[in-house]
């Protein structure tokens, strides 16, 4: 029995069978290794794809956050500028208010010689008393429109308070100063004639005191005080006139 078993185990057919089985097993192992390698490659590819997706999403989110931050910053800057402009603008006439024109006049005075003029509408209280404050507001708006049309970019004006206006003129020539206010008076009358409920035969004028800067009048405060004195002088002399000094 032992000899028979030994013969069967060492027979050529059995050896070939074992070789075939070994080769098959070896091929199966290689196939399995290849499948493992393929699975690993697919996993790596999936991982790389997921990493790319995550990176793209992260980049997109970062881009959106940057855009949102810039938009918010721009909006806040616009709001700050808006509030700053509002703080320097008269709500009724949409021209510089007292703070705005004072700041502009101070800056213009630093550039060189100039003229500060204070303008007051004559008998404006009577306009409010006879025709109402609504008409009075329209008269103030008409004056602001006339001033904007009359003045060039070198000159500035603003509502100083009530019916008073402050002008910062980039000139010290009396002839030019008087010409500016003469044209302003004509334009003001034209705009007032377009106001409803304001009689066309009612004439409203203004008085002005114009203080020209010089060695003794070199600060804005001194110029304004002197212009105010000249304004009262114009009113004492009968109104509807400009006093320049």
Q: Residue 123 in contact with residue 204, Cβ under 8 Å?
A: yes
* Burial of 109 (C-beta count, 10 Å sphere; 0-12/13-18/19+): middle
- The pLDDT, as a whole number, for residue 166 is 98
Provide the pLDDT for residue 118.
Answer: 97
Global pTM? 0.71
Domain boundaries, the chain: 2-84, 98-244
- What is the spatial distance between Cα 127 and Cα 93, in angstroms, rounded to a whole number? 17
How far is residue 159's CA from residue 92's CA, in Å, rounded to a whole number?
A: 10
pLDDT at residue number 149: 95
- Whole-angstrom CA distances from 94 to 1, 100, 140, 157, 189 are 124, 11, 11, 11, 20
pLDDT at residue 70 in the model: 85
pLDDT tens for the chain, 245 residues long, are 666 555 555 566 666 666 777 677 777 767 777 777 777 777 777 888 888 888 888 888 888 988 888 888 888 777 777 666 778 899 999 999 999 999 999 999 888 889 999 999 999 999 999 999 999 999 999 999 999 999 988 899 999 999 999 999 999 999 999 999 999 999 999 999 999 888 878 889 999 999 999 877 889 999 999 999 999 999 999 999 999 99
Q: Which CATH architecture has domain 98-244?
A: 2-Layer Sandwich (3.30)
Three-class DSSP category at 126: helix
The per-residue pLDDT for 7 is 56
DSSP code at position 153:
T
The per-residue pLDDT for 40 is 78
């Amino acid at each position: 029995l032992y000899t028979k078993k030994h013969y069967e185990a060492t027979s050529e057919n059995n050896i070939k069978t074992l070789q075939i089985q070994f080769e098959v097993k070896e091929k199966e192992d290689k196939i399995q290794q290849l499948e493992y390698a393929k699975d690993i490659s697919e996993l790596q590819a999936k991982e790389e794809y997921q990493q790319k997706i995550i990176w793209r999403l992260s980049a997109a989110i970062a881009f959106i956050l940057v855009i949102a931050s810039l938009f918010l910053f721009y909006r806040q800057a616009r709001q700050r500028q808006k509030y700053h402009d509002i703080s320097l603008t008269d709500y009724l006439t949409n021209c510089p208010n007292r703070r705005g024109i004072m700041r502009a006049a101070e800056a213009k005075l630093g550039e060189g010689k100039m003229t500060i003029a204070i303008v007051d509408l004559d008998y404006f209280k009577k306009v409010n008393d006879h025709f109402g404050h609504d008409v009075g507001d329209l008269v103030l708006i008409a004056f602001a429109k006339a001033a904007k049309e009359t003045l060039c970019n070198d000159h500035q004006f603003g509502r100083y308070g009530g019916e008073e206006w402050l002008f910062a003129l980039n000139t010290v020539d009396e002839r030019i100063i008087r010409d500016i206010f003469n044209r302003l008076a004509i334009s003001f009358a034209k705009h007032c004639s377009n106001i409803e409920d304001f009689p066309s035969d009612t004439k409203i004028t203004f008085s002005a005191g114009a203080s020209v800067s010089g060695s003794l009048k070199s600060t804005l405060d001194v110029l304004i005080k002197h212009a105010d004195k000249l304004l009262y002088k114009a009113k004492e002399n009968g109104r509807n006139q400009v006093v320049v000094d």
